[in-house]
Amino acid sequence: MLRSAPLGRYQFPVLAPEYSTWGEEQQAWRNTALFYDLSFHMLEVYIKGPDLLRLLSDVTANNVSNFGKNRGKQLIACNHEGQLIGDAILFGLEDDECVVVGTPFAPDWVSYQAATGGYDVEVFRDEGVGTYNRRGFRYQVQGPNTQQIVQKASAGTLPDIKFFKIGEFTIAGHPVRALNHAMTKLPGLDQTGLEIYGPIEYRDEVKAALLAAGEEFGLKEGGALSYSTTGIPDGWLPLPLPAIYSSDKLQSYREYLPAVAPEASISLGGSFASDNVEDYYVTPWDVGYGKVIKLDRDFIGAEALRAAAEQPHRQKVWLRWNNEDVTQAWARSLFSDTPTKTFSVPNPVYSTCQYDAVLLNDEPVGVSTWTAYSRNVGGFSSLAMIDADQARDGTEVTVIWGEPNGGSGRPHVEHHIQIPIRATISTTAPE
């Protein structure tokens, strides 16, 4: 079902593809600052009640004992076998209230647990994804000039906000909050980022104030094309397949999800092809969360994770793709009688969940996922999950580009041949 689903890669709603050019927008997050409107594409689930902390503690693999008002936290949701369902960000609104923000997989899982687990909480799902009919707005200002821009837009009310903490202030006379986190971390640079949010009725005035304040500091507005590339410098590995499709323990969860849920329509593509859906499941270690999971407490999946803690894992790495090989793949997709898979720029990913096989000495050692071109790097890079004993800086591997047997026949997958592309492993983000 997943390999034949007609969807291509995720398309960000409402955002224009570009507001200047995607390359200039990428350079702005490194050199000046960039503004993204994040109000449309993420599911937001509001949870309030005396059992909030107990619910969150039961569903996430990291420690949330100190979570509360004006704190941010990661949510790392696993199934009972310790495989990742999804991740999200928790925004503490009050000590007994938060909003879960992210791709649908983790918020859906939390909603289900809240509804079926006997917790004393109320849940409101903001289902206005892709529309202006939402409870609030959400803006990201990212880059070295962020503090000066927001300080000016706030008329000096911006407080000192520590990393992954939330501050309250005003913009254009309206109350807002901001989470301090960086979407596009770059080595050696002060990459402050603020995710600013507030009630929907203030969205236009707050946005206008931020853009006006940013004029003297080189602020640019970012579109969907550049936004699709932010995961690479940030190191966030987006959209691994949620591990929900095979376990008998999750039968009731699958029945709980509506037929139109994203989990029922996402596409699975790439050169890694297996008949066993569990071969696409990942663990928190595989995607880089090994340092933040806490196994000295009980939560869904804790027993399985404790049993697997000393076993070999995969490691999240960056792959810097070989320029000559990419050029050959690109040219053959356009001019050859035996074309390769189309290589779109800046993001050639063509499935919701992309898994491309990575080989070392012709042996499989992992999968490459999200791929993008960066003007700051001057080439293509991808995030990958590689067998930890092979994840060494400078090691050359091969990414297989294109699907087996001429492609899957989905609307976004034309008939093509596979081609090998050399890539070099790095355990730090490419510069």
Element (H, E) at 22: helix 22-31
As assigned by CATH, the class of the 314-426 domain is mainly beta
> 61-76: string of b/e by CB count within 10 Å (b at 16+)?
bbebeebbebbbbbbb
Q: Which residues pair with 125 in a beta bridge?
A: 45
Over 60: is that where the pLDDT of 185 sits? no
Closest CA to 196 of 178, 170, 210: 178
Over 70: is that where the pLDDT of 387 sits? yes
Over 50: is that where the pLDDT of 189 sits? no
Give the start-to-end residue ranges of the domains of the chain: 22-41+131-222, 314-426
Indicate the residue type of 87. D
Does 278 belong to an annotated binding site? no
* Cα 403 versus chain centre, distance: 24
Over 70: is that where the pLDDT of 301 sits? yes
As assigned by CATH, the class of the 22-41+131-222 domain is alpha beta
117: Cα within 13 Å, side-chain hemisphere: 22
Average pLDDT, the chain: 95
pLDDT in tens, 128-151: 899 999 999 999 999 999 999 999
Query: Residue 188: is it exposed, middle or buried by C-beta count within 10 angstroms (0-12/13-18/19+)?
Result: exposed
Task: Place 291 in a pLDDT band, splitting at 50, 70 and 90.
Answer: very high
pLDDT in tens, 225-280: 999 999 999 899 999 999 999 999 999 999 999 999 999 999 999 999 999 999 99
Over 70: is that where the pLDDT of 191 sits? no
The predicted model scores a pTM of 0.95
- Same CATH fold assignment for domains 22-41+131-222 and 314-426: no
Q: Residue range 64-70: average pLDDT?
A: 97
Task: Place 361 in a pLDDT band, splitting at 50, 70 and 90.
Answer: very high
